[in-house]
Amino acid sequence: MTHPVVPESHADLLTRPLFGHLATLNADGSPQVTPIWQIWDGEFIRFTTTTDRAKHRNTARNPQVAISINDPDAPYRYLELRGVIERIDTDPQGEFFDVLARRYGLSYEPPVGDHPRRVILVMRPTHATHQ
């Protein structure tokens, strides 16, 4: 089924284990952007973070986000999705973190004691640009 927002031609940039760069809004309205793991289920894009990080603080305050992913094999090819963090789920056992860690081939362990603070940002894409 075709998604109403995500173009079929660029959906591989979500299904491949590529880093996205997720932009959020700081308290003063300025943008913040850092690399992030992502996983797409055909409807939502999910990210793992912890409650003490800017990505969580910012999206809990203002859900507007945008993500940019380009193709390492053809770097002018990219997908930008804008949307909202529709929901923030808890991940107290770090199970979702482990799913993403396996997807990306973990090369570091999360800090000990990190799990109670771990959350899942659930993004609904509402607008796409691509090249």
Q: Would you tell me which residues interact with a second copy (CB under 8 A)? A: 19, 21-25, 29-35, 54, 64-68, 70, 72, 75-76, 78, 80, 82, 107-108, 129
Nearer to a second copy, 86 or 92 (CB): 86
Nearer to a second copy, 28 or 92 (CB): 28
Q: How far apart are CA 57 and CA 90, in angstroms?
A: 14
Q: How far is the CB of 1 from a second copy (least distance, A)?
A: 27
Nearer to a second copy, 48 or 70 (CB): 70
Q: How far apart are CA 22 and CA 56, in angstroms?
A: 12
